[in-house]
Copies of this chain bind each other. A is one copy, B any other.
């Protein structure tokens, strides 16, 4: 049995409890959260979000990429969000490699040349949060009056600490 089949089974029980209710497409808090794909961070309970509260965007590292900007523009211009939280975390997979070594690994394992591609690793998690907040502030696609905050999530304690 694949995990997909198990997810479908568990989901039937979840749907039984869910019942039928239509929530609006536009998030209630008008917030979009940009964070990492890490398995040890469950965003909704960690921040106290109910269904319908906020957009949650996740990629490797929680980095601000073109695709995140695309998503935020849709979030803001189509669905009315006005605040962004950049949330990185301790013990991140993006801290476990360099682009150069990773490109060598990919070439060896998959036979694909990705030399020169930036996989967006980082060393210091406070720096990465500040860098990504700055990317958002500099983007002409994010209006100047959008509130941008940053924080680090500790995967061992569940605690979130603001980055100024």
Name A37's contact: one of B3, B15, B56, B154 (CB within 8 Å).
Answer: B56
Q: How far is the CB of A6 from the nearest CB of chain B, in Å? A: 7
How many copies of this protein are present in the complex? Answer: 2
Contact B60 A58, beta carbon cutoff 8 Å: no
A2 vs B147: C-alpha distance when bound (angstroms): 9
Contact B51 A83, beta carbon cutoff 8 Å: no
Residue numbers in B under 8 Å from A88 (CB-CB): none
Q: Which residues of A contact B (CB under 8 A)?
A: 2-4, 6-8, 10-15, 17-23, 25, 27-32, 37-40, 42, 44-49, 51-60, 65-68, 70-71, 73-75, 77-79, 83, 85, 91, 93-94, 96-97, 102, 105-106, 109-112, 114, 117, 119-120, 140-141, 143, 147, 149, 151, 154-160, 162
